[in-house]
Amino acid sequence: MEKDILKELNERQRDAADYTEGPLLIVAGAGAGKTKTLTYRIINLIRKGVSPDEILAVTFTNKAAKEMRDRTVALLSDRQYNRLPFISTFHALGVYILKENAHILGLTKHFTIADESDAQSIIKDALKSLDLDPKQYEPRKIKSMISKAKGDFISREKFAEEAVAPFAVMVAKIWEMYEKGLKAEGALDFDDLLLQTVLLLKKYPEIKLSYQNKWKYIHIDEYQDTNEVQYELTKLLVGPKENICVVGDTDQNIYSWRGANIKNMLHFEKDYPSAKIVMLEQNYRSTKTIIEAANEIIKKNVFRAPKNLFTENNIGEQIGICVAYDETVEANFIAQKIYELCESKEAEPKDIAILYRANFQSRVLEEALLSRQIPYHVLGVKFFDRKEVRDILSYIRASLNQESLSDIKRIINIPARGIGKVTLAKLFANQFSELPAGMQTKINKFYATLEDFKIYMESHTASESVKYILEKSGMEAELKAGGEMELERLENIKELVTLALKYDAYGEESIDMLLTDASLASDQDSLMHDKKNEGVRLMTVHASKGLEFKYVFITGLEQDLFPHAGIGGKGKSDSEEERRLFYVAVTRAEHKLFLSYANIRTIFGMRQVNSPSEFLSDIPAHLTTLEEANYESTDRVVYL
């Protein structure tokens, strides 16, 4: 007799997992087991007779998708299935649909996914062609405006039509040139992966219907974080039976700055009037003390689905609060406390996270950890963003798509081939015949190498291909001949080979899947691929969402830093988002939480006196204890 897996869930989780027909909204608080509930619901559908390949589950990060996929496979291990549910991120879903219909869009199956670096490079070239200084008109800011418009489902034509301010008019012009640049390379940027998918489904009803018939049961995780395009994509994929299950928490909506619309979740009942709503309020992660503090913090917000977290865990330790003279004293307190936790064997470095509101705060924290020889890992340096890893990936992309000029530009002189910028400019301007014979030979040899790589990849796995390119490109020999830094880079490429092994089982699709995952990797993915990540984790609060740690230090709790003056405090919705951000930070902690602030902090070279964050006063006094910070500041200035 088959095991009743739903008995492993609490009553509300079981209610959600067993409701399999029609629209379902699961309001899941922090640490309430939403991934477990979603996974068990998928398994329950299969055991009720639904074919696994009729089930779609979409989330926001590779880490979350992998966790759900691994849990699903583990729970299905007692049966044999030829197919599995389609579990992916939104962007990976877009890539899948676009590749299946690439010919309709005038793309090849091997179209390039332009990452932020590629996109900004195209924008920089566009600025230069208009005699505009990229230092004055920052490419990152222009790309951000274009990205926000695409996420809000605003077309380039509409943006240009409504542009009034000189900067917006300039962005509209750059946007046009940017799209031409992408097209010339046979590339799409991150936003296009979703936008073009939506446009495809809207333009071709028969294609939309084919996916509605393919995926009859749809699950969307972190629904509160969907933007307009993601919301529209979800609506297009839902069939007439409205078998859609969304999971979210309005209290964890912290991405409005990149288009996330909390109204998508708040209006779910209007979109689907017959929807069932299930509240998951039991927290399995944190102590009673941390949960009580979190409830007190978030209850001041108005734009939320009311709920009250509770837990059956222990009361736990009080929340430690450190009042430091300045940021150096604050950092030394945190480093010393971590040193003591590790020395007493209460924790390992990897069990500990230091969270901050702004990236600049990490410098002094790193110095304090280094001085005590505490290993640490700064989240934000993606494994796939490392130069040597990007070089290998560019070789792969350029071999599969020789129109990808960004990749050609990157690797044509790796290792050095004596091909200069002037030569490259002539090559890209279709003036190859004007080059000296010797240079033509060099370039022809380079393209022959790319063709060789392409042929090799057609009959070999991803890991074999990476090893082959590493050797035949000459990169391996060059790195081996270098110093310690070059050998470390070689180790990173070898780690890429190890990672590629996981894709080999997909056969001829393995190299495409590796490229897709590399292009869509997030900051959190560096935790999965970096061998040197066993240290204390340093990250922004935004980056910590979805993670959990035994010990959490939240730093810089000063008014105008957290909540941030540049973002929070302007309007009601802005201030509420800052409060939600603090709530997310607090609920990352399992065992013990430390909060700290500095009376004086140097920002942009100016020392300023601070008042404590308003958030600190929201925490009842009986939940906190004052921590001593008996460390001298490195600054000897006396303020009277």
Give the model's pLDDT for residue 628: 84
pLDDT band of residue 363 (cuts 50, 70, 90) is confident
Amino acid in the structure at residue 421 = K
Is 39 assigned a catalytic role? no
Question: Active site residue: 20, 35, 212, 336, which one?
Answer: 35
Per-residue model confidence as pLDDT tens digits over 299-330 = 999 888 788 999 999 999 999 999 999 999 99
Rounded CA-CA distance 250/226 in Å is 11
Structural contact between residues 334 and 354, judged by C-beta atoms closer than 8 angstroms: yes
Taking the mean position of all CA atoms in its chain, how far away is CA 312?
A: 32
Question: Active site residue: 252, 289, 318, 516, which one?
Answer: 252
The DSSP code sequence of 189-230 is EHHHHHHHHHHHHHH-HHHHHHHHHH--EEEESSGGG--HHH
Residue with tokens 């790319």: 450
Is 467 assigned a catalytic role? no
Give the model's pLDDT for residue 569: 40
Q: Which residues of 210-234 are buried (b: 16+ CB within 10 A; e: fewer)?
A: ebbeebbbbbbbbbbbbbbbbbbbb
State whether residue 188 is helix, strand or coil: strand
**Mean per-residue pLDDT for 15-25?**
96
- Whether 386 shows a pLDDT value over 90: the answer reads no
Per-residue model confidence as pLDDT tens digits over 182-212 = 998 889 999 999 999 999 999 999 999 999 9
Question: Active site residue: 222, 232, 388, 558, which one?
Answer: 222
Rounded CA-CA distance 392/401 in Å is 14
Give the model's pLDDT for residue 634: 53
Give the model's pLDDT for residue 522: 66
Is 53 assigned a catalytic role? no
Higher pLDDT, 570 or 116: 116
Per-residue model confidence as pLDDT tens digits over 438-452 = 999 999 999 999 999
Give the model's pLDDT for residue 482: 83
**Identity of the highest mean pLDDT range in 5-9, 347-351, 603-607:** 347-351
Cα dihedral value 151, 156, 162, 168, nearest 10: 90
Question: Active site residue: 34, 285, 386, 601, which one?
Answer: 34
Tokens of 394: 């560019």
Give the model's pLDDT for residue 568: 38
Give the model's pLDDT for residue 29: 92
Average pLDDT value over all residues in the chain: 89
Taking residue 581's Cβ as centre, other Cβ atoms within 10 Å add up to: 27
Per-residue model confidence as pLDDT tens digits over 142-180 = 999 999 999 888 999 999 999 999 999 999 999 999 999
Give the model's pLDDT for residue 525: 58
Give the model's pLDDT for residue 410: 92
Tokens of 513: 């899947």
Kindly list the distances between the CA atom of residue 401 and the CA atoms of 179, 396, 404, in Å, as whole numbers in the listed order: 18, 9, 6
Give the model's pLDDT for residue 637: 39
Laid out side by side, the sheet with 55-59 consists of: 86-89, 55-59, 217-220, 244-248, 24-28, 276-280
Is 252 assigned a catalytic role? yes
Is 357 assigned a catalytic role? no
Amino acid in the structure at residue 533 = N
Question: Active site residue: 579, 588, 592, 601, which one?
Answer: 588
Structural contact between residues 591 and 550, judged by C-beta atoms closer than 8 angstroms: yes
Give the model's pLDDT for residue 640: 29
**Mean per-residue pLDDT for 80-99?**
89
**Percent of the chain predicted with pLDDT > 70:** 93
Please name the residues in contact with 415: beta carbons below 8 A apart, sequence gap of 6 or more: 473, 474, 475, 477, 478
**Mean per-residue pLDDT for 246-265?**
84
Is 212 assigned a catalytic role? no
Per-residue model confidence as pLDDT tens digits over 544-577 = 998 999 999 999 999 999 998 764 344 555 789 9
Taking the mean position of all CA atoms in its chain, how far away is CA 539?
A: 13
State whether residue 287 is helix, strand or coil: coil
Structural contact between residues 41 and 290, judged by C-beta atoms closer than 8 angstroms: no
Question: Active site residue: 54, 189, 191, 221, which one?
Answer: 221
Phi/psi of residue 441, each to 5°?
A: -65, -45
Rounded (10°) angle between helices 510-519 and 462-472: 80
- Whether 539 shows a pLDDT value over 90: the answer reads yes
Query: Would you say the pTM of this structure is higher than 0.85?
Result: no
Rounded CA-CA distance 445/431 in Å is 17
The DSSP code sequence of 354-421 is EEESSGGGHHHHHHHHHHTT--EEETT--GGGSHHHHHHHHHHHHHH-TT-HHHHHHHTTSS-----H
Give the model's pLDDT for residue 1: 34
- Whether 638 shows a pLDDT value over 50: the answer reads no
Give the model's pLDDT for residue 636: 40
Structural contact between residues 92 and 22, judged by C-beta atoms closer than 8 angstroms: no
**Mean per-residue pLDDT for 108-136?**
89
Rounded CA-CA distance 581/255 in Å is 9
